[in-house]
């Protein structure tokens, strides 16, 4: 049962297994199906075991994690989850069609050649089918993104856990924003932009962007905050309201997202399911031993990540001005 699991910091250093996976192996969630604990994962059951309340009116302070040597083992995973949640709240998940992981600082990409013939060309009896040729391309570098958070134990011990989590989520959100900037730079480099009709963005330019997608659907439009404001001020957007997920959609259905890493001369459109792949060389890493031992002079968090453009025609861009 969850209240008899032996917690030790070595659980963070198991080969090919995360801390949460180690907990799940020791305390499988399947055995709690249909019970009041069924909605919790193995880590959340450990929080319950030690009475650590991470939200709500009775939320504990950070020092509650360090009541015992075993409960202290839960703190690094709390930090990781809070930062990870902030990353997931960014636009980064909206940009990628697929994600994969490798154990390296770079990985081989691929390229697709479909110049042998159009899909619409019928194949006569006895004639070879038209080819789609997939070949290996240059290595994709997996850049390291990270942040060093300076915070002594004495500084944060009396902070409410939920307030401290907001700080960590903000770090994750901004870190993901920097990574999203890299993703957009990869997309921008992979396409030849269409020129806007004038020096200012107009709805006709957005319609032209929509028209660049023949094989795929335009699902997402990403622009700088200034260009998003200009789009929202367009007459064609006057009657638009937020969708069920609280997001703005253009009249032709595409989501409208803003990203501060884009300059005011570029608007990017993608078919989310076909435009870009994300490759990670590591999950979110942090110094678990230092956090467990209360030596909170710093929290170092980092991730290795890169991006691969996928299908031709699944991304396009507008260039505004010269």
Segments making up each domain of the chain, as ranges: 84-116+132-322
Give 50-76 pLDDT, tens digit per residue. Answer: 999 999 999 999 999 999 999 999 998
Residue 149 host element (H or E) = strand 143-149
Which one, of 188, 231, 203, lies nearest residue 95 by Cα? 188
Which one, of 55, 41, 54, 39, lies nearest residue 5 by Cα? 41
Which one, of 76, 110, 90, lies nearest residue 279 by Cα? 110
19-25, long-range: CB < 8 A, 24+ apart: 19/43, 19/76, 19/77, 19/288, 20/77
Coil, strand, or helix at residue 110?
strand
Give 203-255 pLDDT, tens digit per residue. Answer: 999 999 999 999 999 999 999 999 999 999 999 998 887 887 888 999 999 99
pLDDT for the residue 257: 95
Which one, of 315, 288, 70, lies nearest residue 185 by Cα? 315
Could you please report the per-residue DSSP string of 183-252?
HHHHHHHHS-PEEPSSSS--HHHHHHHHHT-SSS---EEEE-HHHHHHHHTSGGGTT----TTS--B-TT
Q: Distance (Å, rounded) from C-alpha 177 to C-alpha 136?
A: 30
Which pTM does this prediction carry? 0.84
What are residue 187's phi and psi, to 5 degrees?
-65, -45
pLDDT for the residue 296: 64
pLDDT for the residue 258: 94
Residues of the chain scoring pLDDT < 70:
289, 293-297
pLDDT for the residue 46: 95
Q: Distance (Å, rounded) from C-alpha 89 to C-alpha 99?
A: 17
pLDDT for the residue 155: 85
């Amino acid at each position: 049962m969850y209240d008899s699991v032996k917690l030790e910091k070595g659980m963070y250093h198991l080969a090919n297994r995360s801390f949460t996976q180690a907990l799940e192996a020791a305390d499988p969630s399947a055995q709690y199906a249909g019970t009041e604990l069924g909605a919790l994962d193995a880590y959340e059951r450990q929080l319950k075991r030690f009475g650590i309340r991470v939200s709500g009116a009775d939320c504990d302070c950070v020092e509650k994690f360090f009541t015992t040597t075993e409960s202290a083992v839960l703190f690094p995973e709390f930090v990781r989850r809070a930062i990870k949640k902030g990353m997931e709240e960014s636009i980064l998940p909206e940009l990628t069609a697929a994600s994969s992981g490798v154990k390296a600082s770079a990985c081989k990409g691929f390229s697709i050649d479909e110049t042998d013939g159009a899909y619409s060309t019928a194949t006569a009896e006895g004639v070879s089918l038209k080819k789609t040729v997939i070949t290996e391309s240059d290595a994709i570098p997996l850049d390291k993104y990270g942040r060093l958070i300076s915070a002594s134990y004495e500084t944060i011990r009396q902070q409410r856990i939920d307030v401290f989590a907001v700080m960590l989520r903000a770090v994750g959100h901004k870190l993901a924003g920097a990574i999203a900037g890299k993703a957009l730079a990869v997309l921008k480099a992979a396409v030849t932009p269409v020129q806007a009709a004038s020096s200012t963005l107009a709805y006709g330019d957005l319609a032209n962007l929509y028209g660049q997608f023949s094989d795929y659907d335009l699902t997402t439009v990403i622009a700088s905050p200034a260009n998003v404001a200009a789009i929202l001020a367009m007459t064609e957007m006057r009657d638009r309201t937020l969708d069920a997920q609280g997001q703005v959609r253009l009249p032709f259905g595409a989501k409208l997202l803003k990203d501060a890493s884009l300059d005011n001369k570029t608007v990017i459109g993608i078919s989310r399911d076909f435009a870009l792949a994300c490759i990670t060389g590591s999950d979110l890493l942090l110094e678990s031993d230092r956090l467990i031992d209360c030596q909170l002079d710093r929290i170092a968090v980092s991730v290795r990540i890169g991006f691969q453009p996928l299908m031709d025609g699944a991304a396009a861009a507008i260039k505004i001005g010269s």
